[in-house]
Structure 1
C-alpha cells in the first residue's frame, strides 16, 4: 500500500501527492520519502511492513539525497517476488543469500562502470 502511494512520484513525469494534515493546510509534494513518512496503516502487521519500507526510503535519502521513490518501488518488487518464491517452496534463507549475492554483483558492476567526476564535469 505504501509503495503504491509513493510510486506515483517516480521520475521526471511523476505526479504530486497531496497529504492531508490534521491541522493546517495540506502538503503537496513529489518527494517519495515525505509521502512514505505520512502513511500509517491500521493493521499492525501491514504497518510493520510499511515501517520497513519507510526505513528503506529514509536511509536512501540520508545516503544519496535522492532516489527514495526508486528505492521504495524496488523494495516492493523484492518483497512481492520474495513472498511468491517462498510460497512456491524456496528457502527464505537461500533467498536472502541470493539477494545479498545479487546486491554484491550489482554494486560491483556499478563501481566498475563509474568514473570520477572532477572540476567542470560537475553540474
Structure 2
C-alpha cells in the first residue's frame, strides 16, 4: 500500500481514505488495550507481512503463526465498512451533525471556599 500513488487528485484522496480505513482496526485495538494507537500503527507499518501487535500480551509477534487473525478477513471487513459509510454519506443529500454544547460550570453552593 505504501508504493501506491497517483497523479490524479481524486485517486490520491481515495488512496488516503483506504490507508486510514486499514489503520483503524489496529488503532482501536491498541486504544482498548490502553496503548497509544498511533505509535502501534507506525511500528506495525515497518514490520514484515504477518507481524502485528498482540494487545493481550502487549508485544509484537507474527500474528499468522500465533493464529490470532486472518489478515485477509480483517482487511476486507475494514474496506467494506469504510466503503459502505462513504457511499452512504456521498449519496445523502444532507447531513446533520451535533454542535458540542458549551455548558458553563454550575454555581457552587453557598459556604464553599472562594465565596464572599
TM-score for both structures, normalised by structure 1: 0.28
Name the larger-Rg structure.
2
Q: More helix per residue: 1 or 2?
A: 1
Tell me which of the two structures has the higher relative contact order, counting C-alpha pairs closer than 8 angstroms and 6 or more residues apart: 1
TM-score for both structures, normalised by structure 2: 0.29
